[in-house]
């Protein structure tokens, strides 16, 4: 059963004037000439004059003053012309909007909060500059990607591909709800780096793992075991009385480190995006690789859709430049 349009009643006015009469009036009023209006509409002058008289009879108002060699709009005609012209403009714009919707493409992308805020959003302007016809809907999500119909088209996730084994810091998270029919394009490696501001380091230098006990460690909710796993990788343990700062996202954790509040542990790709001028000091021997990496996940049945393909090509190029 088809739903009725929202406005299914006839206009409250007794009868709408014929469109041909309105077109004849609009052209005549704009050009102030029956002859010029007839030429524009590809009809005879008498046909235009007849249509205008029929409209005047319908409205019960004179719209023109017919002088010997010219015509003028009456005050009522001038007012009516402005309303008709506005209505015609609105009709044209409605058609333009329909055409714009028909020619625009769209895609939805699920992204981890830190990647969205620190890595993706600063770069998106370059995609939109060259792809103005593609709308990109960004969905910030920390859960495993859900590609059921009507959910998302693509996702940026970090983790380990099913059936693979690799050394490094454990991640302990799922990238996708269901891997059936998914394709994964690698973006960049996942490695954690410890960072602090120079003024904090100058007060209490951090030259060894033991020196960490003199500082607050900044933890991030998306990877709550990161400090525990990182210390284990370096043969140390998280002390029970260790001062700590809790942040919900990497952007907050890195800002806390920038403020000199403690030492943050963050993916190197996000740290580089947040701090391209290297105002934060990278501690120890640099990044410690995890067991996974960042991937762009796409269902196979959407992989070659034009907007998805265009965005993937752009994203892989950005990732390659970022890694370099």
Q: For the stretch 23-53, what's the b/e string if a residue is b when 16 or more beta carbons lie within 10 angstroms of its beta carbon?
A: bbbbbbbeeebbeebbebbebeeebbbebbe
Cα separations (Å) of 85 from 30, 56, 182? 9, 17, 54
pLDDT tens across 281-293, in order? 999 987 999 989 9
Residues 101-111 have a mean pLDDT of 80
In the DSSP assignment, the letter for residue 233 is H
Helices then strands (H, E): number in the chain? 11, 11
H-type alpha helices, 119-225:
121-130, 198-203
What is the widest separation between alpha-carbon atoms in the chain? 104
Write the CA distances from 164 to 102, 123, 158, 174, integer angstroms. 43, 31, 14, 13
Q: How many CA atoms lie within 13 A of 244 on its CB side?
A: 16
Distance CA 287, CA 283 (A): 9
Band (pLDDT 50/70/90 cuts) for residue 101 is low
Read off the pTM.
0.68
* Cα end-to-end distance, the chain, whole Å: 57
pLDDT digits (tens, 9 = 90+) for 211-264: 999 999 999 998 999 999 999 998 899 888 889 999 999 999 999 999 999 999
């Amino acid at each position: 059963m088809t739903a009725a349009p929202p406005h299914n009643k006839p206009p409250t006015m007794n009868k709408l004037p014929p469109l041909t009469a309105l077109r004849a009036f609009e052209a005549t009023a704009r050009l102030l000439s029956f002859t010029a209006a007839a030429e524009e509409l590809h009809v005879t002058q008498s046909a235009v004059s007849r249509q205008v008289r029929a409209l005047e009879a319908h409205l019960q108002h004179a719209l023109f003053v017919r002088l010997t060699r010219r015509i003028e709009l009456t005050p009522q005609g001038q007012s009516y012309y402005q309303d008709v012209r506005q209505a015609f403009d609105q009709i044209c714009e409605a058609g333009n909007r329909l055409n714009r919707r028909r020619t625009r493409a769209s895609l939805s992308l699920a992204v981890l909060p830190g990647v969205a805020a620190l890595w993706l959003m600063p770069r998106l302007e370059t995609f939109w500059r060259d792809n103005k016809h593609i709308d990109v809907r960004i969905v910030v999500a920390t859960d495993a990607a859900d590609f059921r119909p009507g959910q998302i088209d693509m996702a940026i996730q970090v983790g380990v591909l099913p059936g693979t084994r690799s050394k490094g810091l454990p991640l302990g998270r799922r990238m996708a709800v269901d891997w059936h029919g998914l394709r994964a394009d690698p973006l960049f490696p996942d490695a954690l780096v410890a960072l602090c501001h120079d003024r904090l380091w100058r007060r209490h230098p951090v030259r060894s793992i033991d020196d960490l006990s003199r500082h607050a460690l900044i933890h991030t909710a998306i990877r709550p075991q990161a400090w525990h796993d990182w210390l284990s990788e370096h043969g140390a343990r998280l002390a029970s009385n260790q001062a700590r700062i809790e942040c919900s996202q990497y952007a907050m954790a890195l800002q806390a480190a920038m403020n000199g509040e403690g030492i943050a542990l963050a993916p190197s790709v996000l740290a580089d995006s947040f701090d391209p001028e290297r105002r934060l000091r990278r501690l120890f021997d640099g990044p410690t690789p995890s067991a996974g990496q960042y991937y762009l996940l796409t269902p196979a049945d959407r992989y070659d859709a034009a907007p998805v393909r265009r965005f993937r090509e752009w994203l892989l190029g950005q990732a390659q430049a970022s890694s370099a």
